[in-house]
Structure 1
């Protein structure tokens, strides 16, 4: 019986309708932002709670990691956001920047206001990737650091058969440390695989690497994740990650929600 059913099963899989994933193209879904901008007149609200288990000292909690994205044209969107961080030790695992304190130092309380834009640059054409540029700044509203930090990100991505995607990004932040300003580089690459029209999984490598501190630090992570589109304009997501060096946090989790209107 099984032998007779096997060809029928293979035939049904081969004739199944191709995936047409529903995706809100959120930027909080992974460390690597989406390469797509929001459609004109559409607003996307993204928020999440991030827990970071630092190797020394207290854990870090970030919330609401809120970002409001408003489509201004086919290639341009405005971005506003806010976040509150408790116990930061410099581990950056989302698009939210963090102050750099000595590992094991006292808890750092930060509240930041984010503003900026996202600009689509190219469409995919053969080996030429889809790409975009994000320019943001974060201004502290409360905490031990008071300088506005500029953050620039370039994102490139390719779509493959079956709607698989490979996206890469490079982020640069000019950040404020305990004693001086320094550069923080954030390369990343993510493979995004749709399982159904509403469910996607991904696997990602990313890291942050400082330049200009008395003792520079390297914090690479491996991070799997998933998201579900539970309604036409509502998406929930979860990602976790593990640090790959002694300077990186041991573990983090990031649970998020996106609502579009």
Structure 2
């Protein structure tokens, strides 16, 4: 298991180093007109002018609106509070309910945010569909109740510059406060993405975590990719794939899911959203739904 954790940390570090090294390149190897040119919103003076004309240009970006978290951190000395409810229709066990999936994010600096949260879930399996909370380790035929605390930080690594993506690293701990397993789980995630022409955005993430289920200690990989599209100032839609893959577990699992979602900005600082999704293989839940909100102040 130590070799696996060392390998996982090495992979994440290589990804971070690769994006950092790309920043040293003076020019890309080739250009595609429109897609590689610096977008207007990144040019000097245009961002402030746009914000002056459109109050929604500077809007809240939550981590809960998809399984893939946002590439950005909270602005310095500001808070974002997020909460949601998830319903999961498991195939062979009782359905799962997860609430409040609370995540409080505080901007410590322009690049570092602190993260605190908590959640309660009840069901036959863990709630593994939310980007803000939930666990994978609860499996079996009976009804299991578990609550947990979340804590960690998010570090903004790079800004978008042509091929170089905007990216962040997330380090988190999950400590159960009630339930069958008292062990703390630790995870590290790397999220990166690009803003594309015509209000499209492509983000991807890779999470690695060490967890346990009774005496069974194992690792878990969770890749995801989401394509987002803004529809005017207030509406946003997305389509997403995410998966969970165990390693060194007594009974291995492989989960594949797809999920569309829609989100609405009530104000630049308040967002509500709904996601639904379906499992693509027999080990994954048939269906899930998630609804929640975020508030920035």
**What is the total number of aligned residue pairs between the two structures?**
244
Any stretches of 5+ residues in structure 1 without a counterpart? 1-16
TM-superposition CA deviations, 1:41-96 (whole Å, max 9, x none): 11010000000000112100000000000011110100000000101414511132
Shift of 1:196: 1.1
The aligned residue for residue 125 of structure 1 is: 161
Superposed counterparts of 1:160-175, under 5 Å: 160-175=196-211
Any stretches of 5+ residues in structure 2 without a counterpart? 1-49
The aligned residue for residue 30 of structure 1 is: 66
The aligned residue for residue 222 of structure 2 is: 186
Equivalent residue of 1:38, what SS? coil
The aligned residue for residue 248 of structure 1 is: 284
Q: Distance in 2 between matches of 1:231 and 1:24?
A: 9
- Tell me the C-alpha RMSD between the 2 structures: 1.7
Superposed counterparts of 1:72-221, under 5 Å: 72-90=108-126, 92-95=128-131, 96-103=133-140, 105-221=141-257
Q: Which structure's residues are more often strand, by fraction?
A: 1
Relative to 1, partners in 2 of residues 1:25 and 1:88: Cα closer, same or farther, differing over 3 Å? farther
Shift of 1:98: 1.7
Relative to 1, partners in 2 of residues 1:21 and 1:241: Cα closer, same or farther, differing over 3 Å? farther
Moved over 4 A (4+): 17-22
Are the counterparts in 1 of residues 264 and 273 from structure 2 also a CA contact under 8 Å? yes
TM-superposition CA deviations, 1:162-212 (whole Å, max 9, x none): 221000000111111133111111000000100111100000000111111
Relative to 1, partners in 2 of residues 1:29 and 1:211: Cα closer, same or farther, differing over 3 Å? same
Q: Distance in 2 between matches of 1:208 and 1:222?
A: 12
Give the structure-1-normalised TM-score. 0.89
TM-superposition CA deviations, 1:11-38 (whole Å, max 9, x none): xxxxxx9996553110000000000000
Are the counterparts in 2 of residues 150 and 173 from structure 1 also a CA contact under 8 Å? yes
Are the counterparts in 2 of residues 99 and 177 from structure 1 also a CA contact under 8 Å? no
Give the structure-2-normalised TM-score. 0.79
Q: Distance in 2 between matches of 1:84 and 1:102?
A: 16
Q: Distance in 1 between matches of 2:178 and 2:294?
A: 26
Equivalent residue of 1:162, what SS? helix
Match of 1:46 among 82, 93, 107: 82
Equivalent residue of 1:255, what SS? strand
Q: Distance in 2 between matches of 1:255 and 1:22?
A: 23
The aligned residue for residue 32 of structure 2 is: none
Q: Distance in 1 between matches of 2:272 and 2:284?
A: 26
The aligned residue for residue 273 of structure 2 is: 237
Relative to 1, partners in 2 of residues 1:140 and 1:189: Cα closer, same or farther, differing over 3 Å? same
